[in-house]
Chain A
Amino acid sequence: MRRSSTRKTGSALPVNPSSGSSDAYRSASSKAVSKEVERIDNLFYAYADASSGLIDPEGIESFCSDLEVDYTDVRILMLAWKMKAEKQGYFTLEEWRRGLKALHADTISKLKKSLSELEKEVARPTNFSDFYSYSFRYCLTEDKQKCIDIESACELLDLVLGFQFRPQVDKLVEYLKHQRDYKVINMDQWTSFLRFCNEINFLSLDNYDAELAWPLILDNFVEWIREKQS
């Protein structure tokens, strides 16, 4: 996950949690639960920047090193997904709570252990397409940004799809870097990449029909592969 260096101030989400969610927990009150919340919050404040009240890229970096996971690792992205984090490079308290609670992890070690479960959870088809779309949106760092540049798209593809669809990703990345027609990728194209990987036989491509509504970039990709094969 790339660290975002351009964002200086985000529209900061409230530092104080809405009282609603904490009430829900308090009403189901058991000492253990409220203890968990406390520990989660403490963990948050351990990494958060005091003035902004958010975990910023620096904080994330140290969080990752404690977790013994590289900050570019896909599992961090998965964590962000679980948290439903909105801005790349930042976690708010609410997001933090959301994620850690869902994972039942209130310490670093528990968090470490939960990561493999998280991976399995993400891999489930229904979750995976949601995660996949999320990862694109997560990269839209500017206001009103709709597309991500080719370089970033390639990295993201590798990160997110590389494990499941290695041959497709390699070929696609090669193509994207080679072609000159597109400088950016939009959400529609991004979504279609996953659909392509799921539906189309690779490397034969025998069931790909350019007459259908596939985005043009994939038509060109398929044509490129076929030309190379002949």
Chain B
Amino acid sequence: MGKIVDLEEGLELVQKGITKLTNILEGRAEPSFITDECMMLYTTIFNIASRNHPQDHSQLLYDKYRELLEDYLTSEALPALSEKHDEVMLLELVHRWKNYKVMVRWLTHFFFYINRYYIPRRSLTPLAEVGLNCFRQLVYQVLKDKVRDAVISLINRERDGEQVDKTLLKNVLNIFVEIGSGKTHYYETDFEAHMLRETSTYYSQKASIWIVEDSCPDYMFKAEECLKREKDRALHYLHEISEPKLLQKVEDELLSPYTNQLLENETSGCHVLIRDNKVDDLSRMCRLFCKIASGMNLISEIIKQQVTAELTVLMKQAEDAASNKKPEKKDEIGLQELVLVRSVIELNAKYLAFSNDCFQNNSPLRKPLKQIFEVFCNKGFSGNSCVELLATFCDHTLKKGATKNSSEAVEETIEKTKDSSYGDITSLSQTVKLLAYVNDIDLFAEIHRQKLARRLLFNRSAHDDYERSMLKKLKQQFGWQVTWKMEGMVTDMTLAREIQSSFEEYLKSNRQENPGTDLSVTVLTTRFWPGYKSHDLNLPSELIKCVQAFKIFYETTYRRKLTWLYSLGSCIINAKFGERTIELIVTTHQAAVLMLFNSADRLGYSEIKSQLAMTDDEVTRLLHSLSCARYKILNKEPNSQSISRTDYFEFNSEFTEAMKRIKIPPPPVDERNKVIQDVDKGREYAIDAAIVRIMKNRKVIVYQQLVGECMEHLNHVFKPDIKAIKKRIEALITREYLERDQKNPSIFRYLA
């Protein structure tokens, strides 16, 4: 129950309470409030303001509240602040603000009653806000410029390396925010705008000094440092909205105006960093310029030029070396071409690594690198297509070291030094990366398959594991269509070895079946291997026995039809030259020729031809390899360098050679045309299959769409020619897989 309090009395009590509060806040000797005192103040207000009172003094109290605060500020806070400057002033301000907030809180408690009923009823500004407004009008507006300048000066001192009171700055800047009731309007206008301007000035000055004094990497290092520090600054005491604006200013002053100057710097710019492999500096360059479009474009350009230049140098070196080749070896792929391929592979790998390290995903380098290497990969070099070069390179990498003595250990040959002309196994991944640029990968695959066949069949492969590893990488890159046959080939070799073992076992237990000559047979699954012509050759009787023996063994155990490919076989023949016996390693065909001389001393060309039942072309090449090449096992009459149909041949018993076993080089085989034929046929099938698949799916389709989808289907293996696609469409129309629409000739329909 409130007693009726006289207004004058009540106000006096309140004033006393305020004074006490002020004293406490000012640190003057004053005992703290006790609960009763607080209650009394509250009750006093209550009584004055309550409706029970004959006169309603709520408005008066409301005004009094403000009055009290204003008094407090003008008598205590302002004087204290005006006599101070700089950092000291800032400290005082923070202190004053803290105290003021306490004051406001306490007063609001005391005046609670009107806050609760009177103010809402009259839609007046609540007490807390009134308090805020007072401070803002009396203190903030007066001092804000001084405060701002003091803060900025501290920031600059920190930039120059001094330690400053970060907490103080944070607290001061908080005031800017709190003064706007949490909105950043005052902060932005009264502080941030100026701070940003100052920042620009500061960095503009620094930049103009550094750009003259520092190398590009050093400059970039400093720039990155600055950005880091500004970010920290924003984190520690600026409001979060300032961070992006601040960093932008730094970039605008340090990086944007000097982009070209830095990147194109003669002695330390981008191309120098690339040349010297400075990955860290390049990464920094990319990080810094990633937001500056002109910068990224320039970096891309410079790298492109660098790559093109390096590539051109490599090609020139190779061309020069190639021009020194002997005329008869002009079209052969020799050492210099292989070195070129290896260098280009390494070049590509280097720049791919750069690209990934500096840019990670979405590297702006990916496209230009692709363009540059694509050009290289799809044109020719000194008479050979790049596809052939790459296939030959792979062949060398996967071969055992080429030596005369074929019993060299496999392990030794794998240890190839970097300086050797051959690649090493680890470069296979890099090779496949370069292959990704090749348009006609099916052509590469076909050549690779041909060479793989030779490696496998003539036991020249370094190791099965390496072959499989390469095939696996190719499969990952290009899909199973490109590699399934080759995988079959490698597996075939393992199976063939097993069959051979069984055969040898069989011969041991069936001695009567032994043909009298050691025989080793490799059984191949036809569809995996390149097509080899297999024509019947009139074999010498010894070999006929061998073939028979194996046939019996195989057909009883495996029941499959065998087709014999003598063109791929080899024989070891003991040749007696006078007293000396030399082992000759020859092809089966060569053996067939030589064995003829067991029963005749002298044979003419036509006799040899008819006895063997071969074509002129084959006979010519065979006889050439035995009589006009390095080892003249046969003497030719007349003794010219080319074979003619009137020549006569005799066994050369005078032949001498230091080694006990020599390999007679076989006649060279040019598989190029066959490869191209096979690839073209393969493409026809692939296009047919793609068209049928698309038509089955779509049922009805517009011509352009059919072509487009066809290209998409096939693109990863080869780039189909539009004419080729049209031709296949025609063929499929004839075979009634599809028909043209009667009314609209651009539309095709699937015929089930």
Contact = CB atoms under 8 A, between A and B. Distances in A.
Interface of A: 146-147, 186, 188-189, 191-192, 195, 211-213, 215-217, 219
B727 A216 contact: yes
B302 interface: no
Contacts of A192: 745
Contacts of A186: 730, 733-734
Given A213-B703, A213-B740, A219 B723 contact: yes
B745 A213 contact: yes
Contact of A212 (B703, B723, B727, B748): B703
Contacts of B426: none
The 5 A-B pairs at the shortest CB distance, nearest first, are namely A213-B703, A216-B726, A186-B734, A213-B746, A188-B733
Interface in B714-752: 723, 726-727, 730, 733-734, 736, 739-740, 745-746, 748
19 contacts: A146-B734, A146-B736, A147-B734, A186-B733, A186-B734, A188-B730, A188-B739, A189-B730, A192-B745, A195-B745, A212-B703, A212-B746, A213-B703, A213-B704, A213-B740, A213-B745, A213-B748, A217-B730, A219-B723
Contacts of A216: 723, 726-727, 730
Q: Is the interface of B mostly helix, strand, loop or mixed?
A: helix
A217 B734 CA distance: 14
A219 B726 contact: yes
Contacts of B740: 188, 191, 213
A27 B723 CA distance: 60
A214 to B, nearest CB: 8
Interface of B: 703-704, 723, 726-727, 730, 733-734, 736, 739-740, 745-746, 748
A216 B740 CA distance: 14
Contacts of B746: 212-213
Contacts of B733: 186, 188
A215 B730 contact: yes
A5 B30 CA distance: 137
A189 B723 CA distance: 15
Nearest to A216: B726
Nearest to A182: B730
Given A188-B734, A212-B703, 11 more contacts: A146-B734, A186-B734, A188-B740, A189-B730, A192-B745, A211-B704, A212-B746, A213-B703, A213-B746, A216-B723, A219-B723
A124 B726 CA distance: 32
Interface centre among A186, A191, A212, A213 (most CB of B within 10 A): A213
A217 B733 CA distance: 14
A189 B736 CA distance: 14
Contacts of B703: 212-213
Nearest to A189: B730
A164 B739 CA distance: 27
Contacts of A213: 703-704, 740, 745-746, 748
Contacts of B745: 192, 195, 213
A213 B706 CA distance: 10
B702 to A, nearest CB: 8
B715 to A, nearest CB: 19
Contacts of A189: 730
A6 B635 CA distance: 60
A213 B745 CA distance: 7
Contacts of A188: 730, 733-734, 739-740
Contacts of A217: 730
Nearest to B723: A216
Contacts of A215: 726, 730
